[in-house]
Amino acid sequence: MTELIDALRGAVSAGHAPPADVRLALAGTDDPALLRKAGRALAALADPAGELRPVRVSVVANCTVGPFEALLRSRLVGAGALPEITAAPYGSFEITLATGGFDAASDLVACVLDESWFLPAEPDFAEPQSAAGHLEDRLRQLRELVTVALSTTNATLVLHTVPLPGHIRDTIVSLRDRTALTRLWYRLNTGLLELAEEFGQVQVVDLVGLLGDAGVRARDERLHAYADLPYTDGALLLLADGVRRVAQARLGLSRKVLAIDLDNTLWGGVLGEVGAEGVALGGLYPGKSYQRLQWTVRALRDQGVILVLASKNDAEPVERALCDHPEALLRPEAFSVSMVNWDSKAGNLRQAADTLGLSTQSMVFMDDSAFERGEVAARLPEVALVDASGEPAQLVTSLVRGGWFDVLELTGTDLKRPELYRARGLRKDFSGGFASAEEYLSALDLKVLIEPVTPFGVARAAQLAARTNQFNLTGVRFDEVSTRAMLTDPTRLVAVVSVSDRFGDEGIVGAVWVDRSAETWHVLNLVLSCRVLGRGVEFAVAGWVARQAEQAGATGLTGAFVPSPKNSVAAGFWEKAGFEARGDGLFAFAPGRDPDPTPSWIPTESGPASEATAHEPPTGS
């Protein structure tokens, strides 16, 4: 893989981010030695074009972390982030957390712990249960350190479960006492995992579980004795990957769409050759493995992943097979978009993305054909690829091990997302029968509810801030902690936007953060899901904020636009909403004097749609 290292070095030397295909190749590499070298090569990475999402990480440990920083950097760049990593001095774990000695502006604080921080200095191996009180006390101390640390930052603090070294367990000769110590250690790790439930800013990586699944040796006794480095490179890579998954979810870099093949992927065999009754699905191996994949895909859909069927087949036999096969778990309605034809799969994925109103960068593509994956890689290098060839029993692991779809917390909108995007296709069909955009939008029976966010809506507002790239006016990504703090701040206003129409309820699709500390209110940021663009919802939000400002006695309202490589769709929004350009990306509006920008087809709080000021149907969005 010297080509990968050369490509990374070339990008660093040229002063730009590695191309998308190089980043995905980095993400798909599991060789610790290669990733160490890659991490060192990326230490001076710059991204003047803004292709990567900046992330600041502080590493705090009670031991030597060795190559952890380089491994973490490789994993973060592979996920599409631009990491700035700082490590606290050796031996300063407790004082760093207790005094907030890490970078308070960090997005993540990654803690690395080994067993020595929890165990007594000299365990009583004849009475191992005597360690119970000590372990509980150390867990309590850690909880206190976490509490103090989180009071100084909005960062997500990442902990991990801690493996119990075999030599400590095996030094106890009594099988009963050995079991007792193991039980106490499981209780300790349970307590660590519970911290994620107790603190909204804490995430816990189950390193013990990952080590068992991967079959990776946790310890290198020689390095531990020589350099106080308790973990092997393989174990540190598993931990770095766990931290990457937290960062990916926090930064909104996770994928939304799974595009998946049928033949030799969702079932065994080729439908056109063996017919629906001949495909391997359910029953004994390998059919049970394909059915297990369908079960997993359905479970992902139930958690908000949008499904696209991408198969080179005739549409009618596929429809019959999905409807009639008794072992099929995915029926036609499970797919928000179905691209079953003989066209190129890259073209079909691009068309599916257009139908959904999403970027192809939000897609994961799973296919057994090296040719099809290669064609997609060549034409759409930003699409993540999952190889479905080879052993059918490994299909599920191949799909889920990358954590492509991780989120910090599932929201109600997440759970409804597949149906929301399926309804988008129905809207597109419906729009074909109207002579004008305004006639179509009026017939949609659009309803927009804009209201101050409640504690129950904070997670969704923060998720929108993290994951919305296209209609994101300033790029300021208010996280859950900062958004929640604004609920009780009289100088701030946070509102969420819900949309429904004749095809269904879209849920919360937007959020706006406003500074109302002065006579002139200022919109700190406005984000809106791409699936409702083109309906005038953004103008209704501007009108709502203007009315709130007028009712509060504000004399003016300003907003800003900060261009990015991905938000060109929002360029010109403020001018279209009737705001006057003031230079340097700032725009001004006079509430109560300038015309209300709310479109005529969207009712306002003050009266029916006919009383709202007319606004031209939005174009180019």
- pLDDT (tens digit per residue) in 296-308: 999 999 999 999 9
**Residue 219 contacts residue 231 (beta carbons within 8 Å):** yes
pLDDT score of 513 more than 80? yes
- pLDDT (tens digit per residue) in 180-214: 999 999 999 999 999 999 999 999 999 999 999 99
pLDDT score of 410 more than 80? yes
- pLDDT (tens digit per residue) in 14-23: 999 999 999 9
- pLDDT (tens digit per residue) in 258-268: 999 999 999 99
> How many CA atoms are closer than 13 Å to the CA of 398, on its beta-carbon side?
23
Check residue 68 and give its pLDDT.
Answer: 98
Closest CA to 561 of 589, 526, 537: 526
Q: Cα(601)–Cα(583) distance, rounded to whole angstroms?
A: 31
- Secondary structure percentages of the chain, helix, strand, coil, to 5: 45, 20, 35
428 confidence band (pLDDT: 50, 70, 90): low
pTM: 0.81
Write out the H or E segment, with its range, that includes residue 68.
helix 68-78
Q: Cα(163)–Cα(99) distance, rounded to whole angstroms?
A: 28
Closest CA to 512 of 493, 532, 526: 526
432 confidence band (pLDDT: 50, 70, 90): low
pLDDT score of 47 more than 80? yes
For the segment 278-290, the average pLDDT, to the nearest whole number, is 96
Mean pLDDT of the chain: 92
> For 138, phi and psi rounded to 5 degrees?
-70, -35
Query: Between the CA of residue 549 and those of 158, 259, 497, 516, 541, what are the distances in Å?
Result: 40, 45, 17, 8, 12
